[in-house]
Amino acid sequence: MTTTSEVTAPAAAPARRRSRGVDAVPWWLRLVVAVGALYFVLPTLFVIPMSFSESTTFSFPPKGFSLDLYRNFFTDPVWLTSLRNSFFVAVVAALLATVVGTAAAVGLHNLTGRLARLARTVLMISIVTPGIVIAVVVYISFLKWHLVGTFAGYVLAHAAIGMPFVLVSVTSALSGFDSKLLRASASLGAPPLRTFARVTMPLISRGIATGAVFAFVTSFDEVVIALFLRSPTFQTLPVQMYNSVTFEVDPTIAATSSLVVSAVTVVCLVPLLLGSRRKNR
Amino acid sequence: MTELVRTRVPRPHWLLLVPALALLGVVLLLPLAQSFLRSVGAPDLTDEHYTSLFTDGVTMRVLLRTVKTALLVTVIAFAFGYPYAYVMTRVGPRMRAILLVIVLVPFWTSVMARNFAWILILQRGGPVDQFFSLFGLHVVLYGKVSGVAIAMSQVLLPFMVLPLFSALGGIDRRLLLAARGLGSSPVAAFWKIYWPLSRAGVTAGLILVFTLSLGFYVTPALLGTPQQSLIAQLLAQRTTQLLDFEGAGALGIVVLLITLVLVAWANRIGGTVSAIGVVATSGTKEAR
């Protein structure tokens, strides 16, 4: 009875739910898992009470209750400009990453063989490359190309690190895609581009949207490369947050953190919900 | 009939890969190549920037400290990750999805918000300090390697949990019941049967977490001290403060090579490198 709902689960164990005492999950394991779950989720929540503090230091627990830090954030041109820069960089970088990433995923779909595998590995490489290594070599080369501190420099770098997420999510959307549809469309006279726009695109649109969201968040939150590419005239929000901890000791970061955490949570929940709706279809 | 409709059946085409490869080329491959050429002193080849990594007395010490920190991170991640992944295989699908989302939360919360939160928690007079002062102890992990490691493990746990979950999920629990039925103690059944079967996932998770923690920059920079700097901080310092682009290039290439070799190893054992991409984007997919 209970097992029917668990048929799709990867675990092979039958009838886990009403397990007999001999095979139960012991209480101390549940405790470890509960502590672990708190360890993953709880720390970040500390920024929320802090964001209503009246204090001008980082001392915790916060003193008093005020909206001063939020007022700082929304009136200080430095914070607002950083936010605007981050937003526009992330939008353009996500757009670029989504277009090239989707093209690559479609191109790689159904391709097998050593060369295709190599191409896939190369395209995924920025995911395993330490951020600091990318930041350093990008900085050295971009300095020569006059891209440091420019909008274009930020967009290029962030698009490149966001692209693998698009590749992964579009590839996974394509895995359920029936290529006979392409043949059908072509045999009815549609040129490849129209086939893509009318047949392929609508069927993988969720994968593309998910990838775009992740590329946006990757760029919006990226700090290591951004620290190297910053200039006095152009910096992003994470860089300003970094400054506020290291140079300024400005608790406005607490308000910023709360806002960013809430925003990213909402943005990340969207693809999860989209994903689960697709599963339930 | 079909001969008549000689169609251009749209095949996946290599040309579609060009934009992505071009983007990656400009942002990553070309800069890497340039830094590499610079580090070997092209056109006159020299290995001085590489040998000085071993002889300057600083790099090796920092590298050793980085490795120690990474080991500590890996131990913490394993201590939480193994029971967590095990319980994930033992609960119902809904609970499993919730547990997966929970472990992915740090991964998708703002890097700066997360690190700022750890500063609040670990600082002098912070919650951890206050808690231990109840027992008359004074525990300030801010500025210590252990504090850095705790904050790093939090975000690296998905890379431990996901390979483990897929390995543990494939183990037939009836083997354990059989062992128990034949008179084995629970501990012996675990060590003789469950543990060996889970080892591929364990190795993959350990390597992945260890490797990824080698390259952390923001967390040690914010929660550690300059005196206790890790390899990423050294790399940043050489680049932006000392403007030693040759030395930085050499060190960057070495760090990258170490990373790639270890990741390739983990991939061979656990088949989980795309796990990193999947970890990031999968959400609940894996859990169902």
Tell which residue, B156, B281, B143, has the closest CA to residue B215. Answer: B156
A187 HSE (CA, 13 A, CB side):
10
Q: Is A81's pLDDT higher than 90? A: yes
Query: How remote is the C-alpha of B221 from its chain's centroid?
Result: 17
Rg (CA), chain A: 24
A257:B93 CB<8 A: no
Give the pLDDT confidence score for residue B201 in this predicted structure: 84
Distance CA B64, CA B59 (A): 9
Establish if B40 belongs to a structural domain: no
Q: Which of A137, A250, A259 to mutate to test the interface with B (most CBs of B within 10 A)?
A: A137
What pLDDT is attached to residue B57? 82
Stretch B171-189: mean pLDDT, rounded? Answer: 87
Rounded to the nearest angstrom, the gap between the alpha carbon of residue A114 and the centroid of all alpha carbons in its chain is 29
Is residue B24 included in any domain, yes or no? no
Out of A10, A25, A40, closest to residue B102 by CB: A40
pLDDT score recorded for residue B240: 85
Instruction: Provide the whole-model pTM.
Output: 0.84
Answer for the pair B223, B122: CB distance below 8 angstroms, yes or no.
yes
Contact B23 A100 (CB under 8 A): yes
Residues of A in contact with B232 (CB under 8 A): 130, 132
Q: Are B86 and A13 in contact (CB under 8 A)?
A: no
What dihedral do alpha carbons A208, A209, A213, A219 form, nearest 10°? Answer: 40
Using one digit for the tens of pLDDT, what is the confidence trace for B241-250? 888 888 888 9
| Domain count within chain A | 1
pLDDT of A239 strictly over 60: yes
B105 min Cα distance to partner chain A (Å): 6
Task: Tell whether B80 is covered by a domain.
Answer: yes
Whether B38 is covered by a domain: the verdict is no
> What pLDDT sits at residue B87?
92
- Where do runs of H (alpha helix) occur along chain B? 18-24, 30-39, 48-55, 59-90, 93-108, 111-122, 127-133, 145-169, 174-181, 186-189, 195-214, 218-223, 231-236, 245-270, 273-282
Cα–Cα distance for residue pair A174/A5, rounded to 1 Å: 26
Question: Is B37 among the domain residues?
Answer: no
The answer to whether the Cβ–Cβ distance between A140 and B166 falls below 8 Å is: no
Question: How far is C-alpha A185 from the geometric centre of its chain's CA atoms?
Answer: 34
Residue B2 has pLDDT above 50, yes or no: no
**Residue scoring higher pLDDT (A213 or A280):** A213
Best mutation target, A44, A126, A256, to test chain B (most B CBs within 10 A): A44
CATH number at residue A87: 1.10.3720.10
From chain A, pick out residues whose CB is under 8 angstroms from the CB of B180: 22
For Cα atoms B120, B126, B129, give the angle at the middle one, nearest 5 degrees: 140
Residue A170 has pLDDT above 50, yes or no: yes
User: Which residue from B minimizes the CA distance to A159?
Assistant: B23
Question: With 50 as the cut, is the pLDDT of residue B284 above it?
Answer: no
Task: Report whether pLDDT(A279) > 50.
Answer: no
- CATH number for the domain spanning B250: value is 1.10.3720.10
Does A273 reside within a domain?
A: yes
Contact of A35 with B87, CB cutoff 8 Å? no
The size of chain B, in residues, is 288
Interface test with A, best of B237, B281, B284 (most A CBs within 10 A): B281
pLDDT digits (tens, 9 = 90+) for B204-216: 889 889 988 998 9
What percent of chain A is predicted at pLDDT more than 70? 87
Integer Cα distance of A121 and B280 in angstroms? 17
Q: Of the candidates A16, A100, A186, which has its C-beta nearest B20's C-beta?
A: A100
Any idea which of A78-82, A267-271, B170-174 has the lowest mean pLDDT? A267-271
Q: Is the dihedral of CA B54, B58, B64, B70 positive or negative?
A: negative
Can you give the residue range of the structural domain that contains B213? 47-287
- pLDDT, mean of residues B217-223: 92
Q: In this complex, do B112 and A257 lie within 8 Å of one another by their Cβ atoms?
A: yes
Query: Mean per-residue pLDDT for B83-91?
Result: 91
- Whether omega for the bond prior to residue A61 falls within 30 degrees of 0, making it cis, is yes
Q: Residue B142: its chain A contacts at CB < 8 A?
A: none
Collect all residues of chain B within an 8 Å Cβ-Cβ radius of residue A196: 10
Q: Does the pLDDT at position A29 exceed 80?
A: yes
Percent of chain A with pLDDT over 90: 36
Mean pLDDT of chain B: 83
How many domains, chain B? 1
Q: What angle is formed at CA B110 by the lines to CA B28 and CA B252, rounded to 5 degrees?
A: 30
Q: What is the DSSP letter of B170?
A: T
- Is A265 within a domain? yes
SS3 A111: coil
In the predicted model, is pLDDT for residue B287 greater than 70? no
pLDDT for A9 equals 43
Gap between the terminal Cα atoms of chain A: 23
Give residue A136's pLDDT band: very low, low, confident or very high (50, 70, 90): very high
Q: Which of A33, A51, A165, A241 to mutate to probe the B interface, most B CBs <10 Å?
A: A33
- B136 class by beta-carbon count within 10 Å (0-12 exposed, 13-18 middle, 19+ buried): exposed
Retrieve residue A181's tokens: 């549809």
Find the closest chain A residue to B150 by CA distance: A39
In a domain, A72, yes or no: no
What are B286's two structure tokens? 């894996």
| A62 has pLDDT over 50 | yes
Rounded Cα distance between A137 and B215, Å, is 14
Chain B contacts of A242, Cβ < 8 Å? 112, 218, 222
- What is the number of CB-based contacts under 8 A between chain A and chain B? 343
Using an 8 Å Cβ cutoff, are B80 and B153 in contact? yes
Q: Which residue of A has its CA nearest to B128?
A: A60
Tokens (6 digits) for B228: 């206790």
Which positions in chain A touch B245 (Cβ < 8 Å)?
A: 140
Please report, for residues B167, B178, B232, the alpha-carbon distance to residue A23 in angstroms, rounded to integers and kept in the order given: 19, 11, 46
Is residue A275 predicted with pLDDT exceeding 80? no
pLDDT the model gives residue A123: 87
Instruction: Quote the ipTM score.
Output: 0.85
pLDDT tens per residue across span B16-54: 889 999 999 999 999 999 999 888 877 777 788 888 888
**B157 vs A contacts (CB less than 8 Å):** 36, 40
Distance of alpha carbon B151 from alpha carbon B121, whole angstroms: 10
For residue B75, pLDDT beyond 90: yes
Among B232, B273, B283, the residue with its CB nearest the CB of A132 is: B232
Q: Is the pLDDT of residue A119 over 60?
A: yes
Of A13, A36, A139, the CB nearest to B173: A13
B151 closest CA partner among B187, B126, B186: B126
Decide which of B274 and A53 is more confident: A53
Query: Taking CB atoms and an 8 Å cutoff, what residues of chain B touch A50?
Result: 120
Taking only the tens place, the pLDDT of each residue in B90-144 is: 888 888 888 888 888 887 788 899 999 999 888 887 888 888 888 878 778 888 8
Q: How confident is the model at residue B277 (pLDDT cuts 50, 70, 90)?
A: low
Q: Which residue has the tokens 């390739």?
A: B264
* B151-164 average pLDDT score: 89
Beta-carbon contacts of B19 under 8 Å, excluding residues fewer than 6 positions away, are: A99, A100, A103, A104
Q: Which of A15-24, B158-167, B215-224 has the lowest mean pLDDT?
A: A15-24
Query: A253: which chain B residues are within 8 Å (Cβ-Cβ)?
Result: 112, 116
- DSSP one-letter string for A247-263: II--THHHHHHHHHHHH
The more confidently predicted of residues B238 and A273 is B238
Beta bridge partners of residue A231, listed in sequence order: A234
Query: In A, which residues are within 8 Å of B83 by CB distance?
Result: 29, 32-33, 36
User: What is the least distance, in Å, from the CA of B187 to any CA of chain A?
Assistant: 13
Position A47 scores a pLDDT of 86
Task: With CA atoms as reference, report the closest residue to A32 among B111, B106, B161.
Answer: B161
> Is residue B281 a contact partner of residue A272, using CB atoms and an 8 Å limit?
no
Provide the pLDDT confidence category of residue B8 given band limits of 50, 70 and 90. Answer: low
Measured between CA atoms, the residue of chain A closest to residue B124 is A59
Coil, strand, or helix at residue A234?
Answer: strand
Q: Is the pLDDT reported for residue A8 higher than 50?
A: no
Dist. CA B154–CA B159, nearest whole Å = 11
pLDDT reported for residue A43 = 85
Instruction: State whether residue B164 is helix, strand or coil.
Output: helix
Which residues touch B274 (CB under 8 Å, ≥6 apart)?
A124, A168
Cβ contact, residue pair B27, A159, below 8 Å = yes
Tell me if A54 is assigned to some domain.
Answer: no
Nearest to B12 among A44, A106, A129 (CB): A106
